[in-house]
Amino acid sequence: MPRENLMPLHTAVRKAIGWNGNSSTIYKWWRDGVSGVRLEADYVGRRLFTSVEAVERFRAAVRKRQAHGRKTNPESLTSEAK
C-alpha cells in the first residue's frame, strides 16, 4: 500500500464497492479477516486507513477462497455493490 491513496476504512470500502455498511463489519475484515484473508490497513495516528486498491484485492481474494469451498459469514462481505 505504500504508493496507494490512503483513506479511512469506511470511505475506501464505499468508493471501492459502493457499500455503505456497518463500520464494525469493515473493522472486522481488518482485525479478523474473512475466510483467512485480512484487509490491508495501517494506523495513521489513531485511525485505520486503507486504499480502494486494498479493498479490491481483499474482495478478490475472499471470492477466490469462497470459490474453493471455504466457509464465510454471509454478512461479512457483500456479494454485490449496493
pLDDT tens digits for range 24-59: 999 999 999 999 999 999 999 999 999 999 999 999
Q: In this model, does residue 77 exceed pLDDT 70?
A: no
Q: In this model, does residue 76 exceed pLDDT 70?
A: no
Beta bridge pairs of residue 43: 48
Distances in Å between the Cα of 47 and the Cα atoms of 58, 62, 71 are: 19, 24, 30
Q: Which domain holds residue 34?
A: 7-67
Residue 47 located in a structural domain? yes
Query: What is the value of pTM for the model shown?
Result: 0.79
Residue 37 located in a structural domain? yes
Residue 31 located in a structural domain? yes
Residue 42 located in a structural domain? yes
The pLDDT of residue 81: 42
Cβ pair 9, 23 in contact under 8 A: yes
Residue 19 located in a structural domain? yes
Cβ pair 62, 40 in contact under 8 A: no
Residue 27 located in a structural domain? yes
Q: Whose CA is closest to 1, among 29, 35, 31, 42?
A: 42
- Domain count of the chain? 1
Beta bridge pairs of residue 50: 7
Residue 77 located in a structural domain? no
